Amino acid sequence: MLRERAIGSTQADRAAAFSELAERHLDASYRLATLILGDRAEAEDATHEAFIAAWRSWGSLRDPARFEAWFGRILVNACRDRLRRTRRHGIVDLSDELIAACVGIPAGTVKSRLHYALRDLGVALGSARPEVTT
């Protein structure tokens, strides 16, 4: 069924086939990216970038049975690109203790302020649900 959809001529068939394959390989792809990058947030971004790149190159995949190997290569390259960028630009650790020491307040206060600031930002952008308090 998947092969027929992948070979199908309509955009909807192609999208359905890609969606099915992507869903099937999402968890394993994220785990691989996490192993390579050592950071969950970076792994999420790399996996997302890889699926976008795969969708853009979807027409170049001749055999849907080879999706795993084809996509694995795209994912590894996305991770390598992220590692190169990280080395080039470096990552600065902005831990709560460092931020707290800079402004002279307790680390707990920093965590609280960051929590509420992120919540308010999400609400302002319309992407967060209001918190439910019990």
List the end-to-end C-alpha distance of the chain, in Å, as a whole number: 48
Residues 13 and 65 in one domain: yes
Nearest to 89 by CA among 42, 30, 29: 42
Can you give the CATH number for the domain in which 39 is found? 1.10.1740.10
If one counts every other C-beta atom within 10 angstroms of the C-beta of residue 45, the result is 16
How far is 61 from 67, CA to CA, in rounded Å? 7
- Same domain as 108, residue 84: no
* CA–CA distances in Å: residue 122 to residues 5, 40, 110, 127: 38, 21, 18, 5
pLDDT tens for 86-103 read 776 665 666 777 778 888
Q: For the chain, what percentages of helix, strand and coil (3-state, to nearest 5) are there?
A: 80, 0, 20
For residue 100, how many other CB atoms are within 10 A of its CB?
A: 16
Do residue 15 and residue 80 come from a single domain? Answer: yes
Please tell me whether residues 23 and 52 are part of one structural domain. yes
Residue 120 structural domain = 92-134
Q: What is the pLDDT of residues 45-76, one digit of tens each?
A: 999 999 999 999 988 888 878 889 999 999 99
Please tell me whether residues 33 and 84 are part of one structural domain: yes
